[in-house]
Amino acid sequence: MEDSERPIERCRIPRRRFLKGSTATLAAAALGPIAFFAGEPARADGPEFTQRYYEDRTGQWFTVSADTWHAFELVEVIAHDLSPRAEQFTVRFRGSPHAEIDEGIYAVAPPTGPYYHLHLQPAGSDGDGSYYEASFSIYRPFVAACAGAA
């Protein structure tokens, strides 16, 4: 008898285990997004994270999901004009002196719009708070070519 001709064997799961497992699955599905981060992640057709995007949000507060919720203010956008074909910049956030997080990738929610993930690294602290930076390098091969043709 070939495998395709064999009858499907049914397995019996004890009712109690089935109910516990399905309840846990439903609870995780319902509460998972709330427990992790309210909202939807940024999509490919969402906002384009350019230097201009962050410059327009300087002085605004972003929410960072680490071991707990942290409010970080976007305090500075530093341009690095190293190549006409790349948009390179660093954004600097300031959190409270007690909002210390390790270097890593965190879910970040802007004042409006979906959350997204950023690699944040500590960049020192002072009496105003702890600073964190995220660096960007966006390759734009056609921007320079079009600018030269005009």
Residue ranges per domain, the chain?
9-36, 51-149
In the prediction, which pLDDT does 35 show?
Answer: 37
Q: Is 20 helix (H, G, I), strand (E, B) or coil?
A: helix
Output Rg (C-alpha) for the chain, integer angstroms: 23
In the prediction, which pLDDT does 73 show?
Answer: 96
In the prediction, which pLDDT does 37 show?
Answer: 41
Among 10, 111, 16, 131, smallest CA distance to 58 is for 111
Is the C-alpha dihedral spanning 68, 118, 48, 78 positive or negative?
positive
In the prediction, which pLDDT does 83 show?
Answer: 77
CA–CA separation, 84 vs 144, rounded Å? Answer: 6
Q: What is the pLDDT along the chain (150 residues), one digit of tens a residue?
A: 555 555 544 444 455 554 444 444 444 444 333 333 444 545 545 567 788 999 999 999 999 998 888 999 999 999 987 777 788 899 999 998 888 899 999 999 998 888 889 999 999 998 889 999 999 988 877 654 455 554
Q: Do residues 86 and 137 lie in contact, with contact meaning Cβ atoms separated by under 8 Å?
A: yes
In the prediction, which pLDDT does 24 show?
Answer: 42
CA–CA separation, 89 vs 53, rounded Å? Answer: 11
User: Which residues touch 76 (CB under 8 Å, ≥6 apart)?
Assistant: 58, 91, 92
In the prediction, which pLDDT does 50 show?
Answer: 85
In the prediction, which pLDDT does 112 show?
Answer: 87
In the prediction, which pLDDT does 148 show?
Answer: 52
